Amino acid sequence: MIATIQYNSRKLKIDLTKPLDISIPLEASKDNVNAWYIDEPKIEPVRAGDWTAAVSEGASINFNNIYFNPHAHGTHTECAGHITERVYSINKKLKRFFFLAEVITVAPERLNGDEVISKKQIQFALGNKKREAVIIRTIPNTKEKLSRQYSNSNWPYLTEEAVKYLVKKGVKHLLIDQPSIDKEKDGGELLGHNAFWNTSGKLRLNATITEFIYVPNTIDDGAYILNLQIAPFENDASPSKPVLYKIES
């Protein structure tokens, strides 16, 4: 099924039967991807007295409670409410769901004992391209990212300068395959988040950050249409399912 999306003066064609899912699913397992020093998610049947809401235990339905944290347990999309005193809702701030996006692959550089993604690397990867969304795949890019336990790992992060460059380029939706665009332990500075949402000026309330994605190696760098799907949570962040569509020539 071919669909046409109008982007500025261009008409871009995508095949809706060929989605490229770059989300990480959530499961009740210690192997579920994890960060921020909390336990794994839980999915368990409701129990009321002697009754357990599971077909395998004699009930007519499966009726589960799910306990998880969107920031720690998988792919999620967040808005400025993640770091502001007023808690803005991602469900209210993300009102468009299709964007022209660029997938870039970056090998983080060493800086003061950390691995970072620098402004220079972003400049080289994007060139003069104008994109609403940028999707960052870091290397090495192995399937370990689907189950890695990130707490106390000092993952790669974006320098403040790199984030400011993306903002200057007009990027409104930033996606990365790490638990955060910021350093794991930075004393609460959150330089990247603050720069991306411009907390020192006019808040970029229509801008989002999506973390904990996984971009398989079968997906080439380049331009795509991004469908950024979220669950309708009235919260600063929601579990999400970013899906890419290759632009047909």
Residue 197 pLDDT: 98
Of residues 74, 82, 122, 111, the one with CA closest to residue 231: 74
- Sign of the torsion angle spanned by Cα atoms 216, 220, 221, 223: negative
| Count: domains in the chain | 1
- Read off the CATH number of the domain in which 227 is found: 3.50.30.50
Of residues 137, 138, 126, the one with CA closest to residue 167: 126
> pTM for the full model?
0.96
> How many Å separate Cα 94 from the centre of its chain?
14
- Give the chain's residues under pLDDT 70: none
Of residues 108, 133, 145, 124, the one with CA closest to residue 210: 133
Residue 139 pLDDT: 97
Structure confidence by residue, pLDDT tens digits, 174-187: 999 999 999 999 99
Compute the distance between CA of residue 178 and CA of residue 195 in angstroms, rounded to an integer: 18
The residue to which tokens 């799910």 are assigned = 66
Residue 203 pLDDT: 97
Which residues lie below 8 Å from residue 226, measured CB to CB, with a gap of 6+?
A: 98, 99, 100, 101, 133, 135, 173, 175, 242, 243, 244, 245
Residue 249 pLDDT: 73
Residue 66 belongs to a domain: no
Residue 30 pLDDT: 97
**Any bridge partners for residue 66, and if so which?**
43
Residue 229 pLDDT: 98
Residue 48 belongs to a domain: no
Residue 39 belongs to a domain: no
Domain of residue 92, residue span: 2-26+71-248
Structure confidence by residue, pLDDT tens digits, 150-172: 999 999 999 999 999 999 999 99
